[in-house]
Amino acid sequence: MKWFKNVLTFTLLVSVMMGAFGALAQDGGVLRVGMTAPVVLDPAQHSNDPETALNRAIYDYLVEVLPDSTIGGNIASDWTISDDGLTYTFNLVEGVTFHNGDALTSADVVYTFNRLQEVSSPAISLLGEFEVSAPDASTVVFTLASPNADFLYGVAARQALIVQDGEDQPNVLGEGDAAFENFNGTGPFILTQFDPGARAVFEANPNYWRGAPALSGLEFIFIDDAVAQVDALLSGELDFIFKVPIAQTDRIEAADGVSVVNVATSQHPVIRLRTDEGFAGADARVLQAFKYATDRDALNDILLQGRGTVGNNDPIAPVFTFFYDDTVENQTYDPQRACELLEEAGIGTYEGTLYAPNAFEYADLAAVLQQQWAAACINVDIQVTEEGLYYDFSNPNNYFEVELGITGWGDRPSPQILLQQAYIASGIETGFNESRFSDPEVETLVEEARVTTDNEARRAIYARISEIFLERGPIIVPYFAPLFGGLRDTVQGLVMNPFPGSTDFRTVSIGG
């Protein structure tokens, strides 16, 4: 075994030296990012973080979601919206070129958005119905069928990466010299090596229209196991990882030269009761009882070691800074009150089953809830189901059918999306409104918010919705989960995006 140890040490040495050498070779150095292997590469079709990261390095967006959830320009320098909210006009930046040297024109943008429609990209759900045209080479005009307050989030959707006019198989590996011909974007990095399942290597685009990146290159190393990613970070093989499991954060914190980075997101578990006829949640007092029965601060402490953000019992996360009203007063843990409410509702003690998917910390969440509720006249059995099965309609006890369940809601760039999907009547059809919540006042307010472009006005609408949710909303949101990353201390200028694949590496550099 001794020789094996030696080989191991040698390998480690070499990789450390190579890392150091890489850093010396060019000013900015090479950033090594660990992630799971990307599978779907097509810009219009991809979905997860590594896939987005890969595309984000090569391509640009027309506009983009900034880390604070606001919209910023990218290759559109500015835009105007008609008063009726149906026409969006974008002006393009001058002097943008593709990696193959061709200049970017409005035709490329039109082609990109038409292609999104053709291939039914996930971005369409945000974009809605629209037509796109190019009056001249530097102007693009979108005409909407109906007003859509989140249209800009659609334009900034992860899949809306601008490809060249006529590119019909973006990100398909070619042969020989033409291997990376189809990885042709206008972005800050140029793909130079791609080893599916192992690594992707980029070099900085020296002609990048916003100026060459500080880094000399970028390397994505594909490691599927989260713990192995942490190991690689600690051993110096990686500079940055994201989606670190909470139980692993201690290891990073305890190590020298690396730190935990932490970004608030709108990802959250929802504990919801069905509110339709015949289910306990049809009575608002029961809904309130559950809220009084739940100690959300304790949940955050126990399950997220206090690192999450406690919000209100509605889907509007503090991370949506412009739309979040922190003055709304929420129910506090009061088991006595919960019992009284249940008594008033004629239930006395609630007996039932709490369903949860076997994902994230939700099984533990269920166990802690069971404890908290037991003191508040709510006795539940726990049924944890495989995640796939839990969301499968062929399972009679799927997330949509059960009376009391926990579901996970991923990060959304805007609260409007969540409200529209899950808390109005039309969501029952699509399978997102699992609580069957249908409140005329909420319906009106959500529709109002959809067409309101003024942020202050929208925040007021959302505050009203929050109040309604406190009183008769079907859900408990214990916390909004943070996202953890691990970062080498030498890396500078890295701001992790709530959707970490969208993290912008353009401004990152590696210092002494």
Partner 1 sequence: MSLTSPQPPSAAFRARPMFLQQFVSLFRQLVRTPQSLIGMALVVLFVLMAAFGPLFAPYRFDEIIRGAARLAPSAAHPFGTDTLGRDVFSRVLWGAREIILLPTVTTILSVTFGTGIGLLIGYFGGVLDDIVSRILDSLLAIPALILALVILGTIGASSLGIVIVVVVLYTPIVARVVRSATLNLRSAGYIEAARLRGESTAFILFREILPGVLPALVVEAALRFSYAIFLTASLGFLGLGVQPPSPDWGRMVNEARSAYAQTPWALWAPSGAIALLIIGVNLLSDGLRRIFRYEGGIG
Which residue's CB is nearer to partner 1, number 351 or number 381? 381
CA distances (Å), 425 to each of 395, 403, 452, 464, in order?
A: 23, 17, 20, 18
Q: How far is the CB of 400 from partner 1 (least distance, A)?
A: 16
| Distance separating alpha carbons of residues 174 and 194, to the nearest angstrom | 11
- DSSP 3-state assignment of 258? strand
| Distance separating alpha carbons of residues 502 and 337, to the nearest angstrom | 44
Judging by beta carbons within 10 Å of its beta carbon (0-12, 13-18, 19+), is residue 195 exposed, middle or buried? exposed
Which residue's CB is nearer to partner 1, number 262 or number 305? 305
Q: In what order do the strands lie in the sheet with 268-273?
A: 378-385, 350-357, 404-409, 268-273, 475-476
Please name the amino acid found at residue 169: Q
Which residue's CB is nearer to partner 1, number 139 or number 383? 383
Q: How far is the CB of 397 from partner 1 (least distance, A)?
A: 6
Q: How far is the CB of 293 from partner 1 (least distance, A)?
A: 15
Residue 189 dihedral angles phi and psi, to the nearest 5°: -125, 150
| Distance separating alpha carbons of residues 427 and 400, to the nearest angstrom | 11
Q: How far is the CB of 482 from partner 1 (least distance, A)?
A: 16
Question: Alpha helix (H) ranges present in 161-295?
Answer: 226-234, 249-254, 284-293
For 103, which DSSP code? B
Q: How far is the CB of 250 from partner 1 (least distance, A)?
A: 6
Q: How far is the CB of 271 from partner 1 (least distance, A)?
A: 15
Q: How far is the CB of 333 from partner 1 (least distance, A)?
A: 12
Which residue's CB is nearer to partner 1, number 68 or number 250? 250
Residues contributing to the site for partner 1 (CB under 8 A): 245, 247-248, 250-251, 298, 302-303, 305, 358, 363-364, 366-368, 370-371, 381-386, 389, 397
Q: How far is the CB of 36 from partner 1 (least distance, A)?
A: 16
Please name the amino acid found at residue 156: A
Q: How far is the CB of 23 from partner 1 (least distance, A)?
A: 29
Nearest in space to 325 (alpha carbons), one of 124, 135, 151, 464: 464
Nearest in space to 60 (alpha carbons), one of 138, 126, 158: 158
Which residue's CB is nearer to partner 1, number 102 or number 301? 301
User: Dihedral, CA atoms, 208, 211, 213, 214, nearest 10 degrees?
Assistant: 160
Q: How far is the CB of 141 from partner 1 (least distance, A)?
A: 51
Which residue's CB is nearer to partner 1, number 250 or number 471? 250
Strand partners, 272: 405, 475
Which residue's CB is nearer to partner 1, number 64 or number 361? 361
Q: How far is the CB of 367 from partner 1 (least distance, A)?
A: 4
Task: Assess contact for 503 and 349: CB atoms under 8 A.
Answer: no
Which residue's CB is nearer to partner 1, number 29 or number 357? 357
- DSSP 3-state assignment of 467? helix
Which residue's CB is nearer to partner 1, number 37 or number 367? 367
Region for 128 from its dihedrals, namely left if φ exceeds 0, alpha if ψ lies in -120 to 50, beta otherwise: left
Which residue's CB is nearer to partner 1, number 386 or number 471? 386
Q: In what order do the strands lie in the sheet with 258-264?
A: 189-195, 199-204, 217-222, 30-35, 240-242, 482-488, 258-264
Which residue's CB is nearer to partner 1, number 26 or number 397? 397
